[in-house]
């Protein structure tokens, strides 16, 4: 138990230790309460993304005087909040998307989790939520994944999706930062994004509504980046497309597609391939899968060979602005080899049709570069291939 003291310090766990200021997040103080009745784990082939939740969750609260409470791992439960809370009124919320896998050794592991933690730290600062030691959060996540390991589907392309979330809970209408918060982590077992094999995604290019802007929040993983995309997404669906391709500026350059990072593969005159993705200019989410794809395309032909690609095929990787004029010019010139999207949920998804101002191009199905990246990434994530220490075991918490 943590008791606020008149001097602003706290007495932790009833001991005589007096700490000055709010208590930091401390995973070593975790209290685990297991559910009395565990849910039945559905068959892997029936899992739909984000709909089935596991038995337990991590929960920690922040109070401006006492600081972070002792973390709990407890049965999955509703959150009860005052209707005036900051999260309801001012959208103070940050989340991360991570995946846990079972390796051939039977042990659970996470994919580059320290990148999620660093991004979460930046996102939390951007909307002035209470800061915390992200290394301690990672320890909590590892503890939770260890508790929930029976939920990780041991099937190719399946994983346990892990969603750390922090919400502001200051119960007042005053328009200012939330000095109260709840940090929680919930998990959902999930199958591959496309159950029927890699069906190409169709995109509708949207410039009238804009996902992000210089000086905005597009480079942070804030919940508030998502709600504004739902209505344009419905308009795209009415036109027969799966997702929005987000444009920005008078030059109509591409930022993202749906909730994923965008890549295009262009044939070069020398027989090699260019692999382009928009640069991290403040309007683009710095995706883990994006960073991993960039590293793998650079490593191909050097320290590794991607599946079913010639070792001698050079992938010239570049972060550069890509406009709709570029895309249609490459297509008209017969140089457009592949378009694909990357993100934690789908890993890599091939793009087919792209609609824009009454025109349409068709980039075909999932191409050899996208397929190679999907295969190699999932092999790394599932512990079948080791690459630069990207997989982290959860039993070192």
Q: Which of 30, 93, 331, 378 binds a second copy (CB under 8 A)?
A: 93
Q: Give 223-232 contacts, CB < 8 A, sequence gap 24+.
A: 223/91, 223/93, 223/94, 223/95, 224/91, 224/93, 225/285, 226/259, 227/91, 229/258, 229/259, 232/206, 232/208
Choose between 132 and 390: whose C-beta lies nearer to a second copy.
Answer: 132
Q: How many CB atoms lie within 10 A of CB 51?
A: 10
Q: Considering the complex, what minimum distance in angstroms separates the CB of residue 344 from a second copy?
A: 11
Q: Considering the complex, what minimum distance in angstroms separates the CB of residue 374 from a second copy?
A: 20
Alpha helices in 200-300 (DSSP H): 227-238, 288-299
Query: How far is it, in rounded angstroms, from Cα 21 to Cα 8?
Result: 6
Query: How far is it, in rounded angstroms, from Cα 205 to Cα 246?
Result: 6
Q: Which of 12, 27, 57, 254 binds a second copy (CB under 8 A)?
A: 57
With CA atoms as reference, report the closest residue to 369 among 325, 316, 306.
306
Residues in contact with a second copy, counted by CB under 8 A, come to a total of 63
Q: Which of 81, 155, 313, 392 binds a second copy (CB under 8 A)?
A: 81
Q: Does 181 bind a second copy (CB under 8 A)?
A: no
Give residues 34-53 in contact with a second copy (rule: CB under 8 A). Answer: 49-51, 53
Choose between 7 and 80: whose C-beta lies nearer to a second copy.
Answer: 80
Choose between 173 and 268: whose C-beta lies nearer to a second copy.
Answer: 173
Q: Do the Cβ atoms of 255 and 278 come closer than 8 Å?
A: yes
With CA atoms as reference, report the closest residue to 323 among 263, 393, 252.
252
Q: Does 3 bind a second copy (CB under 8 A)?
A: no
Q: Does 213 bind a second copy (CB under 8 A)?
A: yes
Q: Do the Cβ atoms of 251 and 323 come closer than 8 Å?
A: yes
Q: Does 127 bind a second copy (CB under 8 A)?
A: yes
Choose between 177 and 397: whose C-beta lies nearer to a second copy.
Answer: 177
Q: Does 83 bind a second copy (CB under 8 A)?
A: yes
Q: How many CB atoms lie within 10 A of CB 180?
A: 21
With CA atoms as reference, report the closest residue to 18 among 32, 28, 3, 31.
3
Q: Considering the complex, what minimum distance in angstroms separates the CB of residue 395 from a second copy?
A: 26
Give residues 215-274 in contact with a second copy (rule: CB under 8 A). Answer: 215-217, 222-224, 226-231, 233-234, 258-259
Specify burial of residue 52 (Cβ count, 10 A radius: 0-12, 13-18, 19+). Answer: middle
Q: Beta strand pairing status for 10-12 and 201-206?
A: unpaired
Tokens representing residue 206 in the block: 């949207």
Tell me the CA distances in angstroms from 33 to 24, 126, 280, one per residue in order: 22, 33, 42
Q: Considering the complex, what minimum distance in angstroms separates the CB of residue 94 from a second copy?
A: 9
Q: Does 89 bind a second copy (CB under 8 A)?
A: yes
Choose between 184 and 276: whose C-beta lies nearer to a second copy.
Answer: 184
Q: Which of 106, 175, 196, 389 binds a second copy (CB under 8 A)?
A: 175
Q: Considering the complex, what minimum distance in angstroms separates the CB of residue 48 from a second copy?
A: 8
Q: Which of 29, 126, 267, 321 binds a second copy (CB under 8 A)?
A: 126
Q: Does 65 bind a second copy (CB under 8 A)?
A: no
What does the binding site for a second copy look like in residue numbers (CB under 8 A)?
Answer: 49-51, 53, 57, 76-84, 87-93, 95, 125-128, 161, 163, 165, 167-168, 172-178, 184, 186, 188, 207-210, 213-217, 222-224, 226-231, 233-234, 258-259
């Amino acid at each position: 138990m943590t008791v606020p003291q008149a001097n602003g310090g706290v007495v932790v766990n009833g001991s005589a230790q007096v700490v000055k200021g709010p208590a930091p997040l401390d995973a070593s103080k975790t209290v685990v309460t297991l559910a009395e009745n565990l849910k039945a784990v559905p068959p892997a082939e029936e899992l739909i993304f984000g709909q089935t939740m596991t038995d337990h969750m991590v929960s920690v609260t922040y109070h401006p005087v006492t600081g972070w409470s002792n973390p709990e791992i407890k049965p999955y439960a509703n959150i009860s909040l005052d209707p005036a809370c900051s999260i309801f009124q001012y959208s103070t919320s940050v989340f991360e998307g991570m995946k846990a896998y079972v390796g051939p050794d039977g042990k659970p592991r996470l994919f580059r989790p320290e990148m999620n933690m660093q991004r979460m730290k930046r996102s939390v600062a951007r909307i002035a939520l209470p800061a915390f030691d992200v290394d301690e959060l990672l320890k909590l996540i590892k503890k939770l994944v260890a508790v929930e390991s029976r939920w990780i589907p041991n099937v190719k392309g399946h994983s346990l999706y892990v969603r750390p979330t922090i919400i502001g809970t200051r119960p007042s209408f005053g328009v200012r930062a939330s000095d109260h918060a709840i940090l929680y982590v919930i998990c959902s077992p999930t199958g591959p994004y496309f159950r029927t094999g890699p069906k190409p995604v169709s995109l509708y290019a949207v410039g009238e509504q804009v996902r992000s802007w210089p000086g905005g929040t597009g480079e942070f993983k804030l919940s508030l980046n998502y709600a504004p995309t739902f209505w344009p997404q419905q308009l795209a669906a009415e036109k027969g497309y799966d997702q929005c391709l987000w444009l920005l500026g008078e030059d109509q350059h591409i930022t993202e597609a749906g909730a994923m990072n965008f890549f295009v593969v262009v044939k070069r005159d020398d027989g090699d391939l260019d692999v382009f993705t928009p640069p991290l200019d403040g309007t683009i989410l710095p995706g883990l899968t994006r960073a991993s794809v960039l590293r793998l395309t650079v490593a191909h032909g050097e320290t590794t060979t991607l599946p079913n690609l010639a070792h001698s095929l050079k992938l010239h990787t570049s972060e550069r602005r890509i406009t709709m004029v570029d895309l249609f010019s490459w297509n008209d010139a017969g140089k457009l080899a592949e378009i694909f999207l990357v993100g934690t949920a789908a890993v890599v998804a091939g793009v087919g049709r792209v609609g824009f101002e009454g025109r349409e191009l068709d980039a075909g199905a999932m191409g050899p570069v996208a397929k190679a990246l999907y295969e190699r990434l999932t092999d790394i994530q599932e512990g079948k291939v080791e690459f630069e220490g990207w997989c982290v075991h959860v039993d070192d918490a």
